[in-house]
Amino acid sequence: MSEAVIEVRGLTKAFSGKTVVDHLALTVNRGEIFGFLGPNGSGKTTSIRMLCGLLTPDAGEGTCIGYDVIRDAQKIKREVGYMTQRFSFWEDLSIRENLEFVARIYEMDRIEQRVSESLDHLGLKQRETQLAGQLSGGWKQRLALAACLMHEPKLLLLDEPTAGVDPKARRDFWEELHRLASAGITIMVSTHYMDEAERCHRLAYIAYGKLLAQGTPNELVAASKLSTWTVSGHGLHELTEELHKLSAAEQVVPFGNAMHVSGPDGKALEEELKPFFNRVGLQWSRDEPRLEDVFIHLLHQAQDNYQ
């Protein structure tokens, strides 16, 4: 059996009487890249902050890297690497100066060695004297990851780390995450990007504070039981308006020169689509649902907790 690095049950947090995380239960295993997905305001950041000791849960129990999430918050904070949504380093300090400052805050030993190894490992050596405020999004991301790794954490908690980063930098970042995972580091990462979700070993989807589903990408697609059709051809814009009126068509989504039509009742959807199958200029085919289809389907089923 895999070793659980995060194992929590019933984690709950409310602000001003509004419950933003509602009885969250998660298990994340050693060496796993665990994707944490959900719309803005779903409770992802609050959940991550409870796991790393920055927020105390109102209810619930569990462990993170072997420590109790309520009683041992200070120990957890010192042994995880937490990368926030926003760049949180000092823009008037150089890359090296930022890393040295972080090392002193953590009271690390071998500061010079740790900083030099981090610069080399993440390709920052040639830019070590550059001010952090002058860096592009991708280089800021590398600096933030280098700072997270200097104290050799067993667990990385990354909160939308690739927001605003170009595609190549995102790909390079994910290659680094998989290298870290293969070395035994556990990674929990929140993201809005479906291509990133597909790179994770397992996923959890949260909406309005409630966990709706978790599993591998393939497991989530299979469990959704969505039926999907793809149509291409002429007059798709007009067709979209017609398809939106079908009761069995939960989602009608353009994808380039084609359109995907999905619904949870495959038989009913096919019956409603039959009149369109012989329409001149259209080509229909069965398709597989995508993760994005699955998550939109889950969101439709969720209850908004906004009061």
Summarize pLDDT for 96-120 with one digit per residue, the tens: 999 999 999 888 899 999 999 999 9
Model pTM score = 0.88
Q: What is the pLDDT of residue 81?
A: 92
**Average pLDDT for residues 139-146, to the nearest whole number?**
89
- CATH code, domain carrying 210: 3.40.50.300
Q: Domain range for residue 252?
A: 227-288
Pair 142, 244 in one domain: no
Is there a contact between 182 and 150 (Cβ–Cβ < 8 Å)? no
Long-range contacts at 115-122 (CB < 8 A, ≥ 24 apart)? 115/150, 118/146, 118/147, 118/149, 118/150, 119/95, 119/146, 121/146, 121/149, 122/146, 122/176
Tell whether 140 is covered by a domain: yes
Residue 304 confidence (pLDDT) above 80:
no
Query: With pLDDT > 90 as the criterion, what percentage of the chain qualifies?
Result: 69
The one-character DSSP state at 55 is: S
Pair 172, 60 in one domain: yes
Rounded mean pLDDT of the chain?
A: 91
Q: What is the pLDDT of residue 307?
A: 47
Query: With pLDDT > 70 as the criterion, what percentage of the chain qualifies?
Result: 98
Summarize pLDDT for 43-62 with one digit per residue, the tens: 999 999 999 999 999 999 99
d(CA 285, CA 204) in angstroms, rounded, equals 30
Tell whether 81 is covered by a domain: yes
- CATH code, domain carrying 265: 3.30.70.330
Helix (H, G, I), strand (E, B) or coil at 307: coil
**Average pLDDT for residues 239-243, to the nearest whole number?**
93
Q: Which strand (E) or helix (H) includes residue 35?
A: strand 33-37
Pair 189, 266 in one domain: no
Tell whether 306 is covered by a domain: no
Question: Going by C-beta distance under 8 Å and a sequence separation of 6 or more, which residues neighbour residue 141?
Answer: 161, 162, 165, 169, 173
Q: Which strand (E) or helix (H) includes residue 67?
A: strand 67-68
Pairing of strands 210-215, 202-207: antiparallel
State how far the alpha carbon of 9 is from the alpha carbons of 43, 87, 159, 172, 197, in Å.
15, 31, 21, 34, 23
Pair 20, 117 in one domain: yes
Summarize pLDDT for 145-180 with one digit per residue, the tens: 999 999 889 999 999 888 777 888 888 889 999 999
Q: What is the pLDDT of residue 267?
A: 96
Q: What is the pLDDT of residue 306?
A: 53
Summarize pLDDT for 19-43 with one digit per residue, the tens: 999 999 999 999 999 999 988 888 9
Q: What is the pLDDT of residue 107?
A: 87
Residue 305 confidence (pLDDT) above 60:
no
